[in-house]
Structure 1
Amino acid sequence: MVLNGIIPPDRLRIAAFSLVLYFVFPLALFASEISITGTVQDAVTGEALPRANIIIEGTSTGTAANDRGQFVLENLSPGRYTVIAQMIGYEVGVQRIDVTTDKKLHLDFKLRESFFQTKQIVVTATRTQKLLENVPVATELITNSEIEESGAENLAQILEDRPGITIQENVNGGKTLSLNGIDGKYILVLVDGTPIAGKFNNRLELNFIDADDIDHVEIVKGPSSALYGSEAMGGVINIITKRFDEGLKITSHGKAGSYELYSGNVGVSGGMAKTGYAVNADYSRGGIDQNEISINVTDTESSRIEGKVEYDASGLGVFQTGWEFKEDVQDGNDSIFLLETRIRRNNGFLNWKKECTNRFSYRAKGYYTDYDRRYTTTVVHSGNIASIDTVLENILGLQSDLSYKFRDVRFDFGVDYSRGEYESDRVANHHVLRDQSGVFGQIESNNIKNLTLILGGRYDKITDVDGYFSPRISAMYEISPEFKLRSSYGGGFRAPSFTDLYIDYNNVFVGYQVIGNPDLKPEKAKGFNIGLEYFYDYTVLFNLNLNRNRFDDMILDYVVRPAVLSYRNVEHATFTGIEAQMRIYMLKNLTATFAYNYNEIDQDDDIEEVPSFFPRSGYVRLNYGMFKNKVKLSIRDQLLGNRQVREFDRRTGQYLPNLKTQKAYHLLDVTLTWYLMKQLSARTGVTNLADFTNVTYGPWIGRRLFVSLDVTF
């Protein structure tokens, strides 16, 4: 109320406060609506990177780049921010910016193609999904880009130039591996975390695993039975297959090369609503040097078809199922016989994943894998069948994993069960069954700053074999943003195989006999790994690892009497190794990888049959991009030092007493790739450029050329 023209003081105060709100509050709103614009581009080509993720560290604020690589971060208050740009296949971009009332803030990110791999998700080392940089167990990764640039046809070719891995070829054309000097029968090979049926002489032949459906390969060195049970004494190689694409994608791949090599692959994949699907078919033929007398194979032929489907049932979880059929045929001959090996494989699975809460999840997987190998010998002149040797093996299994996270502690538990069936004319009673069950658990703690600690173990029980417990402890400590220290200690074991226990085979053509030993004990291992990592400014990544693995009760073959072989447990052998690897950006379009690996075996004096290996090996890889990465040159060189070899004389049925030395050599591969357009690329290359061969010890196949064409719609 106004009295005599005078406004009461309380109303004056209200009016003044209202004026302040009227003018100041909009200014406050205006100040809080500060935004940052920017772009995300390929550092070499300058092309936009659509759907790159841009986030502000430590907040929930983020966005994605549009089709032109542009982004906007809105509603920011004044302050200092760390802005991160991420894109699959590229290194992470990080920029810091001071936000004031200035509205014209702009950031440009130029991301380089991924080279250091630290942001790649891996699963093998802990049986859970983790970024590679956060895994406390030393893990090596072979990316899809590395597989493609090598022109690899199969898993053997993917692995053959990796430090510490030696690929050896037998006279039947099969390729097996050794890892840090440890024979391949102690290395567990998995596909998406499940085992594969079918081994020849206890070793998986890697050239029968096609590269077309492989996304990447994870390698864990050292005892891993605490997660995977038997056969993981020396390490695990896990093949991760390709995932589903968003929208329809059609791919086609064709390749031709030396020794009448022809191969092709067609794939269709995509997704709609809550469903994903993928179908692949491939065929290959040839690739064997028919003039090489050391290899009894004159021709090879392989065909494969596989498909998988995924469905997200919302509250019920995600279901995935798939099936693969593969057939491989090898023809060969000698002066008396025509030889044919025909291998058929069927692999199927059914997965279920359920994220119950943000703390609790469950996964179950059922799988079936079978292997049918028929080896037919036919007399050259008469055409009469001299022998048919058949091996049938199948595995039916179930895996289950449960995870629960409480604050900074994560609990993982799981139960595995499998039933293996083996049938062969070479084993006593011809038919054997084996059940294997295992239960594991691990606890991961991040309670202490900069320290990740994992404790775990697994107990396994296998038919006719004593139960065995495999422990493991691993830790990673971040000394500084650049330095990390990793260490792990674990146990492993390998149950005697069907052939170790029950083989009863008389090779009348060569003149020797092999008999099993049903009294064999499981082989055991205890080992540790210590590693140091230095990562500087996304320019240099250096890793140094020391490993030691002691095997007890090793199962090795020995001469019972002339021309008669069997198996026995021996005392021990200790494998010690050191590995150094450095990845470096030398120029913005030139990257280099250097690696050196040294291994030695300390064994009992009476052990003469430990398989030979290369104590020293090195690896160099150079990648050079030209014309804004439209053309890429890859040079890879593997250097193998001298090794000692103990030969087996088939005429006497005994190992020769004196060791022989295989001289050092190197294998140089070169690949050139043209990215003609987004949908079309061409590749040409040469393996074993120096054309090195060794008739006695291998490699038996010399220089090989290839050209390939990839089309994507």
Structure 2
Amino acid sequence: MKRWIYSTFARPMLYCLILLCLCAPLCTFADDPAAGGNEGKASKEKTGGEGKGEKESTKFRLPEMVVTATRTETPQEEATKSVSVITAKDMNEQQQTFLPELMGEQPGVYFRQLGGLGQWSSITIRGASDRNTLFQYNSLPLRDAADTQNTLSYFIEDMFGTSSLDRVEILKGTNSTLYGSQAMGGVINIIPKKWQKGFSGELRNEIGPNNTYIGNGRISYGQDKFYFDINPMYLTTDGEKYGGDNSFYYRNKGLTAGAGIRPLDNATLEFSVLAFDSKLALGDSPQLNPATGKPNKQQADPDQYREGLLYQLGLAWNHEVTPRWDYSVRGTYGETERHYFHLSSPHPRDQSNYDGQTTYLDTQHNLHLTDWLTFNIGADYEKAVFDGREPSSPSMGDFTPVRFSKEWTSWDLFTQAQLAFLDRSLLFTAGGRYNAPQAFDEKTVWEVSGAYILKPTHTKFHAHLGTGYRTPSLYETYGGYVWNGTLVTIGNKDLVPEESIGYEFGIDQSFLNDKVQAGATYFNTRFKNWIGFDSLAFQYKNADKTELSGIESYIKVKPFPWLKVNLAYTYVDTRVEEANGDWVRGSYQPHNKLNLVTTVYPTDRLTVACSVAYYDSKLVPLYDTSWNQVQWKEPSKWVVDLSGTYKVARFMDIFMRVQNLANKNYTESGYQMPGRSVYGGVKLSF
């Protein structure tokens, strides 16, 4: 039945989509009057529509605003640090349901997923570890206090659904001054839509291979004094088998929602919620086969699965007391749960639970003293709790839970000065943070950054220098596991926080009324007290040094209303100092990465997008079939994705996307990745 559906519908649609991608530029060029050299038209202004729905502005274009670079709303062209922005329009054009997929297309950003839907994922920035990437939702930190290194990797792929997304801001480089521990590599801020007036709704349904169904909806209403926005989501798939007897099934139910009131003309109270509840099949890790020189394909275990829960509740009070002074008071409470089960076990307590809780409070005051000077002063408090339970001795029939629980707190003070001179052509920021964690010594970090804008030529020079730190996680400090009724501790109370110093400098240039935008940035970050697991000592230890350096660049071209091309290239050199003093190449990090996204608007109703990604070879630590640890050089790879959207009516879109269009056989960190996968669906808007 599935084969009949594919041959009858999916294959012809795929061929038509490829033909449209190849031929649409020629057809449109012949029909478009602008192709005859109509350079005198006014510049385009994005209005939230798609394709040729972009309207012309005869006066000016509103600047793109970002909040993550300075913790205050700032025009992106005035940002003194490197910031990439992914908009809801980008996601709609590529019909990408999962946020992490598009993040990996940005310069300096790497997305790694170990298999198909729902599998363990990580996002790293400029070669730093995923534990050095801070995630935020609605500008508030999103954490998993039970993770071994305080990352969000077990829940990244759970974050799907884009109906309520406004944009994602990716702040790159050392940013501990503004955002504290874990921001040594960068910050990813997921920002939802809010304060939209009127009533709107959306229903999106998508089907794909392996009985995959993805659905999400949105309903929102707003006026001057209040708004609400609700976005439920659901996903189910049987998953890939990779030649085995069992599949990596995955289920996920999610919800994002927001609401706000305006009790005063100059004050707002906002509430937000993010929640995902998932169930995932587990399997073995790939082993290197000495006979083939390649890893064996991972196989799903029919007996084991994981249930995961991530949720965060947020509340924010914003008050503009005077034009010179505004402040905010915000707080979040979040929980994560990872529970591992054995289906064949006769005992209901044969499970391992790892639960985390995070409470966060902050306040920030913004003093706009003059037109050229703004002070930001703030403080934050955080409490983290890790609660683990494992059965005492399952092999002996003892399933009594052995509990290990730890918690700690920290509080910080931070300040920043923003200066602007020469009609906002010369910009500076400088700041510092004092950190007082309960379990470690106090720490002070600082940063300075600047930019000079040559307005006649639309050229911006920018530079940033800062120090960073990351306190060890609860698990790195106190964690362990249960063996024959005994808690074996692999955490290390003698760990000290990781420290770093990083700098960057670069140039951004636009031409032809922003039809061509280009930029390049060199970066370098040096770490000390790098934390890793010592397999000989069987505990976490501080290593000596790690150094990351490289260059990221981009070119964005929009020569015609019907064509847009985005090219991003990144080179990263990751080096780690070993105990004997030798410097070696870091694992999991390719030297070169190239991303090309071409979007074509053949008509007002049709959008076609093609994404091409190239990843250089990299070193991957694996075990062979005799359980000897080896370094495997994973080959380089090209991956092509294709998508198309057709607006049938004002309220209806039909869409199709093809992942791994060329059906490449490739691996990610030794894990087999899915072959060609064709998805399609319909979106209703009202």
Q: In the aligned structure 2, how far is the partner of 1:507 from the partner of 1:234?
A: 36
Is 2:100 the partner of 1:156? yes
Indicate whether 1:559 and 2:503 are aligned: no
Partner of 1:663: 635
If asked which structure has higher relative contact order (CA below 8 Å, sep 6+), I would say: 2
Determine helix, strand or coil for the equivalent of 1:133: helix
Aligned partner of 1:278 in structure 2 is: 229
Deviation of 1:443 after TM superposition, in Å, equals 0.5
Answer yes or no: is 1:352 the counterpart of 2:317: yes
Deviation string 1:351-404 (CA, Å, 9 cap, x unpaired) is 11111111211111111111122111233xx65568311011111111111101
SS at match of 1:637: strand
1:441 aligns with 2:415: yes
Alignment of 1:410-559 (within 5 A): 410-425=374-389, 430-449=404-423, 450-481=425-456, 482-505=458-481, 515-536=490-511, 537-559=513-535
| Partner Cα separation in structure 1 for residue 586 and residue 569 of structure 2 | 23
Describe the shift of the 1:332–1:642 C-alpha distance in structure 2 as closer, same or farther (beyond 3 A): closer
Instruction: Tell me how far apart the structure 2 counterparts of residues 142 and 598 of structure 1 sit (CA, whole Å).
Output: 21
1:387 paired with 2:333, answer no
Indicate the RMSD between aligned Cα atoms, in angstroms: 3.0
Q: Match for 2:334 among 349, 369, 375?
A: 369
Corresponding position: 1:236 with 2:211: no
User: Is this contact kept in 1: 2:313–2:333, CA < 8 A?
Assistant: yes
Q: Which residue of 1 aligns with 2:608?
A: 633
Matching of residues 125-204 of structure 1 within 5 Å: 125-170=69-114, 173-198=119-144, 200-202=147-149, 203-204=151-152
Superposition map of 1:93-132 within 5 A: 110-111=56-57, 119-132=63-76
* Distance in structure 2 (CA, Å) of the matches to 1:369 and 1:631: 41
* Structure 1 position 314 matched with structure 2 position 264: yes
CA distance change for structure 1 residues 576 and 472 in 2, over 3 Å: closer, same or farther?
same
Pair 1:593 & 2:566 matched: yes
Deviation per residue, 1:54-101 (Å, 9 max, x gap): xxxxxxxxxxxxxxxxxxxxxxxxxxxxx999664489xxxxxxxxxx
Q: How many residues align?
A: 602
**Cα distance between partner residues in 1 of 2:253 and 2:635:** 38
Instruction: Report the Cα distance in structure 1 between the residues aligned to 2:572 and 2:382, rounded to whole angstroms.
Output: 34
1:197, distance to aligned residue in structure 2 (A): 3.1
Q: CA separation in 1, counterparts of 2:44 and 2:605?
A: 24
CA 175–475 in structure 1, closer or farther in 2 if over 3 Å, else same = same
- Aligned counterpart in structure 2 of residue 396 of structure 1, from 346, 359, 381: 359
Seen in structure 2, the aligned counterparts of structure 1 residues 513 and 630 have a Cα distance that, compared at 3 Å, is farther
Structure 1 residue 346 displacement after superposition: 2.7
Name structure 1 gaps, 5 residues minimum.
1-43, 47-82, 92-108
- Which residue type is aligned with residue 672 of structure 1? G
**1:693 is aligned to 2:665:** yes
In structure 2, the residue matched to 1:96 is none
Structure number, greater radius of gyration: 1
Please report how far the alpha carbon of residue 204 of structure 1 lies from its aligned counterpart in structure 2 after TM superposition: 1.4
Q: 1:534 to 1:234 in 2, by over 3 A?
A: same
- What residue is the counterpart of 2:295 in the other structure? none
* Contact kept in structure 2, 1:297 and 1:330, CA below 8 Å: no
Shift of 1:175: 1.1
Following TM superposition, by how much is the alpha carbon of 1:246 offset from its aligned partner in structure 2, in angstroms? 1.1
Q: Tell me by how many angstroms 1:611 deviates.
A: 3.4
The CA distance in 1 between the partners of 2:169 and 2:246, in whole Å, is: 33
- Amino acid paired to 2:592: R
Whole-Å separation in 2 of the counterparts to 1:147 and 1:45:
28
Q: Whole-Å Cα distance in 1 between the matches of residues 260 and 665 of structure 2?
A: 46
1:553 Cα deviation (Å)? 0.5
> Structure 2: how far apart are the matches of 1:520 and 1:490?
23
- After TM superposition, the structure 1 = structure 2 runs for residues 262-301 of structure 1, keeping only pairs within 5 Å, are 262-286=213-237, 288-291=239-242, 293=244, 298-301=248-251
Q: CA deviation at 1:489?
A: 0.6
Q: How far is the alpha carbon of 1:431 from its aligned partner?
A: 0.9
Question: Could you tell me which residue of structure 1 aligns to residue 19 of structure 2?
Answer: none
Instruction: Say which SS state the counterpart of residue 207 (structure 1) adopts.
Output: helix
- Of all paired residues, the percent bearing the same amino acid is 20
- Paired residues of 2:44 and 2:56 also in contact (CA < 8 A): no
The residue type paired with residue 505 of structure 1 is Y
Q: How does 1:603-614 map to 2 (within 5 A)?
A: 603-606=576-579, 610-614=586-590
CA contact (8 A) 1:227 1:458 kept: yes
Residue type of the partner of 2:352?
D
Q: 1:547 to 1:269 in 2, by over 3 A?
A: same
Inter-CA distance 307–605: structure 2 relative to 1 (3 Å threshold)? closer
2:678 equivalent in structure 1: 705
Preserved contact between residue 556 and residue 609 of structure 1 (Cα < 8 Å): no
Cα distance per residue 1:303-330 (max 9 Å; x no partner):
1234322111125611111334321111
Letter in 2 for 1:414: G
Corresponding position of 1:304? 254
Give deviations 1:318-350, integer Å, cap 9, x for gaps: 111133432111134679761121112331111
Task: Look up the equivalent residue of 1:152 and give its one-letter code.
Answer: Q
CA offsets, 1:573-605, max 9 Å, x none? 110010110001132311111121100023314
Which has the larger displacement, 236-245 or 159-168? 159-168
Q: Could you say which residue in structure 1 is the equivalent of 2:549? A: 576
More off after superposition, 174-183 vs 678-687: 174-183
Cα distance in 2 for partners of 1:308, 1:397 equals 18
CA distance in structure 1 between the aligned counterparts of 2:300 and 2:654, rounded to whole angstroms? 42
Deviation at 1:467, TM superposition (A): 1.2
* Cα pair distance change 1:297/1:370, threshold 3 Å: farther
Q: 1:566 to 1:539 in 2, by over 3 A?
A: same
State the one-letter code of the partner of 1:139: V
- Opposite residue 531 of structure 1, the aligned amino acid is G
2:36 alignment partner in structure 1: none
What code does the residue aligned with 2:616 have?
A: G
Tell me the distance in 1 between the aligned counterparts of 2:427 and 2:439: 38
Q: Is the 8 A contact 1:244 1:269 kept in 2?
A: no
Answer whether contact 2:246 2:301 (CA < 8 A) is retained. no
TM-score of the pair, normalised by structure 1: 0.79
Q: Which stretch has the larger CA shift, 196-205 or 423-432?
A: 423-432
Q: Which runs of 5+ in 2 are unaligned?
A: 1-29, 33-41, 284-298, 391-400
SS of the residue corresponding to residue 182 of structure 1 reads coil
- 2:379 maps to 1:406: no
Kept in 1: contact 2:196–2:223 (CA 8 A): no
1:308, 1:320 within 8 Å by CA — same for their partners in 2? Answer: yes
